[in-house]
Amino acid sequence: MWQLILCIGLLFLILEMFTPAMFFLNFAIAAFICALLSLFTTNITILIIVFCVLSVVLMFTLRPLLMKNQKTEQLTTGMESKYVGKVARVVEDVDKEKGAVSIYDERWQARNVEEGVIPCGSNVKIESYESIVMYVRKV
């Protein structure tokens, strides 16, 4: 009996590898504990109840801890240190809807974070970015 429960636990562990959501890991741990428990009892009703209770308890205790520790931060692209906070030169008048800046001999679309137009030739500070658009403020 314990071999079957151990195989079920391994199946849940494999499922967790393919869907890393910390969901099936709870069932795998519960199955491993039930496999140990099945060495002492062969009553299937007790094993099923223990598996269900352990699964629910682990779902509400272990999963939140693991999800909090898992890095869910947005993937960084390297643009934070290369562009944000740097000074660029306006190559096309920048307002809230259109414009362009040049930094490191690269041309980027730009938008003014403040009201008004930043004229061509001005220096601007890059405040943030979204996709291929830099949001800038006049220096």
Residue 120, domain CATH: 2.40.50.140
For residue 105, tell me if it sits in a domain: yes
Contact in structure between 109 and 129 (CB atoms under 8 Å) = no
Give the domain range for residue 112. 79-138
10 Å CB burial of residue 29 (0-12, 13-18, 19+) is: middle
Our count of domains for the chain comes to: 2
Domain boundary among 13, 45, 69: 69
Residue 23, pLDDT above cutoff 90: no
Is there a domain that residue 26 lies in? yes
pLDDT of amino acid 18: 87
pLDDT category, 92, cuts 50, 70, 90?
very high
Task: Say whether both 60 and 89 belong to one domain.
Answer: no
| Domain co-membership, 57 together with 90 | no
Residue 78: pLDDT band with limits 50, 70, 90: low
Evaluate if pTM is beyond 0.85. Answer: no
pLDDT on residue 74: 45
The pLDDT of 98-123, averaged and rounded, is: 93
Residue 74 in any domain: the answer is: no
